[in-house]
Amino acid sequence: MRLSGITPSGHAQLGNYLGAIRRWAADGGERDLYFISDLHAMTTAHNPARLRSLAEETLAALIASGIPAERVFVQSDLTAELGALTWVLECTCTYGEAARMIQFKEKAGGQAGVRLSLLTYPVLMAADILLQGASEVPVGEDQNQHVELARALARRFNSTYGEVFTVPRAVLPLAGARVRDLADPARKMSKSTKDSAGVVFLLDEPELIRRKIRRAVTDSHSIPGYQPDERPGIANLLEILAACTGRAPGDLAGEYPTYGALKEATAEAVVETLRPVRERTTELLTDPAELARIRKEGAARAAERGEHRLSSALRLIGAG
């Protein structure tokens, strides 16, 4: 089993789609599972109603992108199971191990009112992985240490109390495009970026997408050229266009005489790529009963998959 997640920390954006969701839909197979990690979006200040609606929207977007409904679930639908397993794993984890997490140090550094969950969420992530019995977790560099922790906890539990958990390992995600922020190509496009001028969301209307791409930061040259280090803004547009058309960014550069022409072509390619996803997502969102049914079935399947592991772990650790 291979487990991948998406955190509804904002509206899903073009980078999520071209870099991950689209690959999940096209290349994912029987052994792939996907989940909306809404509990992970609670480790910093959050708005409950917004989070609930973002989780729903993200679920709809994954299904609309072509991921089979039976391979998707929402994390908070398993709060009882995950809460119990997180406790078991917290009793397997040392404080030092959690406090060593680089992401915790980076995000908590110097801040007042840091939530305890920011420290412990890698243990919840271990619970996500171990409950489902995932052997592979496709993650970027920034999440590697968390998968290592899940690995260490699985091994420790198995050797201390009895064999329950599959020991997972981090694997490289399916290679997708890396999309940068249109207004600031030095950083990646992100759903939680405060200023959304450089972020194309999956549900943006075509006219808004065109406007955002027309205003994308470029450079002082005037003829498109593919030089990612020296000209990141133009390279980003070429890479987006390439990802939408299946062409190579370097080949596309010579086909557009001006920045304006490149922006127009990129905007149209993005609009057409996202159109079916936006239409199907919107359609699903207007059918809450169908979405609720998909969600309920996904939750039941995910809970069933983990049931024996959770009950064995509780029994072996001495609970109940």
Nearest-approach distance from CB 34 to ligand AQP, in angstroms: 10
Residue 105 annotated to the active site: no
Residue 188 annotated to the active site: yes
Q: Name the active-site residue from 107, 194, 263, 296.
A: 107
Nearest-approach distance from CB 237 to ligand AQP, in angstroms: 14
Q: Name the active-site residue from 191, 212, 263, 296.
A: 191
Euclidean distance between CA atoms 65 and 215, whole angstroms? 27
Euclidean distance between CA atoms 225 and 250, whole angstroms? 8
Nearest-approach distance from CB 320 to ligand AQP, in angstroms: 34
Q: Name the active-site residue from 105, 188, 263, 296.
A: 188
Nearer to ligand AQP, 185 or 298 (CB): 185
Residue whose C-alpha is closest to residue 118's, from 132, 101, 130: 101
Nearest-approach distance from CB 6 to ligand AQP, in angstroms: 4
Residue 107 annotated to the active site: yes
Nearer to ligand AQP, 140 or 257 (CB): 140
- Tokens representing 270 are 């993005």
Residue whose C-alpha is closest to residue 67's, from 17, 13, 130, 22: 22
Nearest-approach distance from CB 303 to ligand AQP, in angstroms: 22
Binding site for ligand AQP (CB under 6 A): 5-7, 9-10, 13, 15-16, 19-20, 140, 173, 176-179, 188-192
* Residue nearest ligand AQP (C-beta atom): 19
Nearer to ligand AQP, 58 or 92 (CB): 58
CA contacts within 13 A on the Cβ side of 21: 25
Residues 6, 7, 12, 18, CA torsion sign = negative
Nearer to ligand AQP, 184 or 268 (CB): 184
Residue whose C-alpha is closest to residue 7's, from 190, 172, 177: 190
Count Cβ atoms below 10 Å from residue 238 Cβ, excluding itself: 27
Q: From its phi and psi, is residue 188 left (phi > 0), alpha (psi between -120 and 50) or beta? A: beta
Nearest-approach distance from CB 10 to ligand AQP, in angstroms: 6
Residue whose C-alpha is closest to residue 268's, from 245, 236, 235, 239: 245
What DSSP line would sit under 32-91, residue for residue?
A: EEEEE-TGGGGSS---HHHHHHHHHHHHHHHHHTT--GGGEEEGGGGHHHHHHHHHHHHT
- Cβ–Cβ under 8 Å, residues 236 and 218: no
Nearest-approach distance from CB 127 to ligand AQP, in angstroms: 17
Nearer to ligand AQP, 20 or 252 (CB): 20
Burial 73-100 (b: 16+ CB within 10 A, else e): bbbbbbeebbebbbebbbebbeeebbee
Q: Is 116 exposed, middle or buried (0-12, 13-18, 19+ CB in 10 A)?
A: exposed
Nearer to ligand AQP, 240 or 302 (CB): 240
Nearer to ligand AQP, 86 or 190 (CB): 190
Mind telling me the catalytic residues? 107, 188, 191
